[in-house]
Amino acid sequence: MQRRTMLGALAMTSLGASASAAAQSASGTAPAAPASPSTATASPASATHATGATPSPPNALCYIIWPADGTVITGGKLWVRMGLRNMGVCPKGFNRPNTGHHHLVLDSDLPPLDQEIPSDRNHLHYGAGETDAHLELPPGKHTLQLLLGDYNHRPHDPPVYSKKITIVVR
Q: Answer with the residue of higher pLDDT: 41 or 156.
A: 156
For residues 67 and 100, the answer to whether their CB atoms sit within 8 Å is: no
What is the four-CA torsion angle of 37, 39, 44, 50, rounded to 10 degrees? -60
Please determine, for residue 21, whether its predicted confidence score (pLDDT) is greater than 80: no
Residues 9-48 as b/e (b if ≥16 CB within 10 A, e otherwise) read: bbeebeebbeebbeebeeeebbeeeebeeeebebbeebee
Q: What is the pLDDT of residues 133-152, one digit of tens each?
A: 999 999 999 999 999 999 99
Which pLDDT belongs to residue 51?
57
Q: What is the pLDDT of residues 53-108, one digit of tens each?
A: 899 998 999 999 999 999 999 999 999 999 999 999 999 999 999 999 999 999 99
Please determine, for residue 37, whether its predicted confidence score (pLDDT) is greater than 80: no
Domain boundaries along the sequence of the chain: 2-169
Instruction: Provide the β-strand partners of residue 99.
Output: 88
The whole-angstrom distance between residue 169's C-alpha and the CA centroid of its chain comes to: 20
Q: What is the pLDDT of residues 114-135, one digit of tens each?
A: 999 999 999 999 999 999 999 9
Which pLDDT belongs to residue 24?
40
Q: Using CB atoms within 10 Å of the CB of residue 143, give its burial: 0 to 12 exposed, 13 to 18 middle, 19+ buried.
A: middle
The whole-angstrom distance between residue 76's C-alpha and the CA centroid of its chain comes to: 19
CATH H-level superfamily of 2-169: Immunoglobulins (2.60.40.10)
The residue-averaged pLDDT of 30-59 equals 53
